[in-house]
Chain A
Amino acid sequence: MTPSPGRPTEAMPQFEMHATGVEGATEGTERMEVSMGPHHPSTHGVFRMDVELEGETITKLKPVFGYLHRNHEKIAESTSYLGSMPYTDRLDYFNSMTNNWAYALSVEKLAGIEVPERAEYIRVITAELTRLQNHVSLIGFLVQDMGALGTPLMYAFRERERILDLFESLSGARMMCNYMRFGGCRCDVSADWIKQAQSVVEAFPQFLDEFEALISENEVLMARSQHVGILKPELAIDAGVAGPVLRATGVNYDLRKVDGYGIYDRFQFRVPLGDHGDVYDRYMIRVLEMRESVKILQQALAEIPNGDYVNPKAKLRGFRPPPGEAYGRIEAPKGELGFYLISDGSPKPYRYRVRPPSLINLTILEDMCLGQTIADAVIILGSIDIVLGEVDR
């Protein structure tokens, strides 16, 4: 009367095989194709995975995207340099501040604009706050994908809300901040705002402790995520993966240290590294990165100097960089975000190209998913941390 242990569900799908056309049988068992998405509840937006299954094991996975393609790069080539700034908000709509920064950085490189010190501090503060809110919502979503009925996600969103409130009182918008300008920022931060930010940052480690007590040592989470979706460091480097996904494989590569762009060389922080490159490592690396971000924020908020918030020489209207090309990159929360610009001296970029971390981290999805079950594919996708606005552009 007892079914065999292990995976009794192995052979289930074969029933449907006759009803739906399925590719030819191999080695005696037939395979089933399942199309997960574009409106599947856990594909994080309009993303589709064409999965070929043997039992519940994935034998082939084809990511299909482009449902959200909006011609971002071409639009940017037909609008002014300033006009693309609000569009960069919509690339990775979780992290508009870092998107702004990366774009502003490349335009500044292109036109040789100096950035005042205060503006650099403001940029570091907003970028690290962005990293906090991105990572916190990501781990919330990841645990939600594992089936934790919203509780960790709600806690994560409660904290994210505090940071979004800061963004709103600074830039006017919660997510589409459009805050950076070439040579600085759009408006100044007030002493009051810095105080608010300090209180949010002070309270954040306590929240992280709570969150970790809630879920980090949960046996179910560990069983679900450890040794699942392993990414080898060699493959990660070959595929150009960057950000926490790369660091979870143990590769020490953080642009804040490597490039030292902005004023990151002034702050004391460490780069956490994983040893296994599995889902749990990617989760924990993000938690640890948040703790480091809190350290950076504490230093930056304490040390912020007075001065201009934007280079007074930078022109808002009629901005024409000299002919040339530039590539500016930063360590966005999701990985290396770069903008490559070619100017022909006109008010519009001749070529505008985004290096989206989400898309490039997504290329290794199949390599991580093969041989795992379909339930793992969901959390592996969740652990890569993609935003379809950036993947499709």
Chain B
Amino acid sequence: MSLFFIITALITMASAIAAMTLRNLVHCVLCLTVTFAGIALVFLQLGAEFIGFSQILVYIGAVSILMLFALLMTRGGTELTLKRWDPVHWITGTLIGIAGFGVMSFAIFNSSLRQSKIPEAKADSLHALGNSLLSQYVLPLEVMALLLTVALIGAALIALPEKNVFRKNASFSKNQESGNK
């Protein structure tokens, strides 16, 4: 456990906590972004360059932006109006968190990963990754691609410009009509 890892982990966790507790939603998303970056750094420290950079590209470059867009489109990025100390929220949140953590730790402690030593990153890991993606895991990949395409088309349909309804309100024509009456 190097010093660098400790720093990364601390930053990641601190920003995750901030993302949960800050009241301004945009701040929360920005903190979440820092968490994503921290996770990417952990990947890089493990020698998984491809996954690490993909994490940055996808999560920082796209997912966080998506969240920000969604935020601005819906809530307007204003301060949360929730009561800060709503006990019901806090208790349910804590319970869910503990449950999630328990399940995760149970899975990790019983997995095979824990027994074997983490393998060193191979020099041709990228080629291996590509080969396995296009041979062994080609069906899941295709299914994911299809899903994303469908989502894209659906989004395009939703965003299609509606017919213009404003033109009939044009002031001059309106004034003229009322003037003629």
Q: Decide if A and B are genuine partners.
A: yes
> Which chain A residues have a beta carbon within 8 Å of chain B's beta carbons?
1-8, 10-12, 14-15, 17-18, 54, 57-60, 235, 238-239, 363-364, 366-367, 370-371
Tell whether A15 pairs with B77 under 8 Å between CB atoms, given A58-B166, A238-B176, A363-B172: yes
Other-chain contact of A239, B58, B160, B172 (Cβ < 8 Å): B172
Cβ-closest chain A residue relative to B57? A1
**CB-based contact A57/B160 at 8 Å:** no
Given contacts A11-B73, A14-B72, contact A6 B156 (CB under 8 A): yes
With contacts A366-B171, A367-B172 known, is A8 near B72, CB below 8 A? Answer: no
Give chain B's interface secondary structure class. Answer: helix
Residue B161, interface by CB 8 Å: yes
Top 8 closest A-B pairs, CB basis? A1-B62, A4-B155, A4-B159, A367-B170, A371-B164, A6-B159, A11-B73, A371-B166
A27 to chain B minimum Cβ distance, whole angstroms, is 9
- Cross-interface CB contact of A366 among B161, B164, B172, cutoff 8 Å: B172
- Residues of B close to A18: CB separation below 8 A: 76, 78
A7 adjacent to B161 (CB under 8 Å): yes
If A2-B152, A60-B169, A370-B170 are given as contacts, then 19 extra A-B residue pairs at C-beta distance below 8 Å, sorted by A number, are: A1-B58, A4-B155, A7-B161, A8-B69, A10-B159, A11-B73, A14-B73, A15-B72, A15-B76, A17-B76, A18-B76, A235-B172, A239-B172, A363-B172, A367-B170, A367-B171, A370-B166, A370-B169, A371-B166
Find A4's partner among B58, B63, B156, B176 (CB 8 Å cutoff): B156
Give CA–CA (A2, B153) in the complex, Å: 11
Q: Which residue of B lies closest to A239 (CB)?
A: B172
Nearest A residue to B165 by beta-carbon distance? A371
What are 11 sample pairs from A and B whose C-beta atoms fall under 8 A apart? A6-B156, A6-B159, A6-B160, A8-B69, A14-B72, A18-B76, A59-B166, A60-B169, A366-B171, A367-B172, A370-B167
Q: What's the interface size class on B, roughly?
A: 20 to 34
| B173 contacts chain A at the CB level, 8 A cutoff | yes
CB distance from A222 to the nearest CB of B (A): 20
- B173 close to A235 (CB less than 8 A): yes
Q: Which residues of B contact A370 (CB under 8 A)?
A: 166-167, 169-170
Residues of chain A within 8 A of B161, CB atoms compared: 6-7
- Which residue of the partner chain B has the closest CB to A5? B156
Instruction: Find chain B residues with CB under 8 A from A239 CB.
Output: 172
Whether A8 contacts B159 in the complex (CB less than 8 A), given A2-B152, A370-B166, comes out as: yes
Q: How many residue pairs, one in A and one in B, have C-beta atoms under 8 Å apart?
A: 68
Interface string of B50-67 (1 = CB under 8 A from A): 000000001001110010
B113: chain A residues within 8 A (beta carbon): none
Closest chain-B Cβ to A1's Cβ sits at a distance in Å of 3
The answer for the CA separation of A6 and B176 in the assembled complex, in Å, is 35
Cα-based distance from A8 to B69 in the complex (angstroms) = 9
Q: Counting CB contacts under 8 A, is B158 at the interface?
A: yes
- Chain A positions within 8 Å of B72 at CB level: 11-12, 14-15
CA distance A366 to B169 in the complex (A): 9
Candidates B58, B156, B172; contact of A364 at CB < 8 Å: B172
- Give residues of chain B (91-109) contacting chain A, Cβ–Cβ below 8 Å: none
Report the bound CA distance from A7 to B69 in whole Å: 13
- Is B172 a contact partner of A7 (Cβ separation < 8 A)? no
Residues of A close to B167: CB separation below 8 A: 370-371
By the criterion CB–CB under 8 Å, are B171 and A4 in contact? no
How far apart are B52's CB and chain A's nearest CB, in angstroms? 17
A238 to B175, CA, bound (A): 11
Once the chains are docked, how many angstroms separate the CA of A2 from the CA of B72?
17
What's the Cα separation between A239 and B159 when bound, in Å?
36
Q: How far is the CB of B80 from chain A (nearest CB, A)?
A: 13
Residues of A close to B160: CB separation below 8 A: 6
B119 to chain A, nearest CB (A): 30
- Compute how far the CA of A18 lies from the CA of B77 in the bound complex, rounded to whole angstroms: 10
- Of all chain A residues, the one with the shortest Cβ separation from B58 is A1
In angstroms, Cα B173 to Cα A364, docked, is 9
Residues B69 and A3 in contact, CB atoms below 8 Å apart:
yes
Q: Which residue of B lies closest to A10 (CB)?
A: B159
Give B39 Cβ to nearest chain A Cβ, in Å: 17
